[in-house]
Amino acid sequence: MEQLIFHHMETVRRITEQTMMNIPEDISDTIPNGFNNNIRWNFGHITFIQEKLVFGLLDNEMNIPKDYEQLFGAGTKPVDWEEIPPSFSEIADILTEQKTRIKNFLHGRLHEKLPTPFTNRRGITFYTVGEAFLFSFYHEASHIETINRLYRSIFSD
Domain borders along the chain are 2-156
Going from the C-alpha of 99 to that of each of 9, 65, 131, the distances in angstroms are: 8, 16, 17
- Please give the model's pTM, rounded to 2 decimal places: 0.95
Check residue 156 and give its pLDDT. Answer: 78
Residue 56 and residue 17: Cα distance in Å, rounded? Answer: 23
* Segment 103-143, tens digit of pLDDT: 999 999 999 999 999 999 889 999 999 999 999 999 999 99
Residue 125 and residue 128: Cα distance in Å, rounded? Answer: 10
* Segment 13-43, tens digit of pLDDT: 999 999 999 999 999 999 999 999 999 999 9
Task: Report the topology of domain 2-156.
Answer: Four Helix Bundle (Hemerythrin (Met), subunit A) (1.20.120)
Is residue 157 pLDDT above 80, yes or no?
no
Check residue 10 and give its pLDDT. Answer: 96
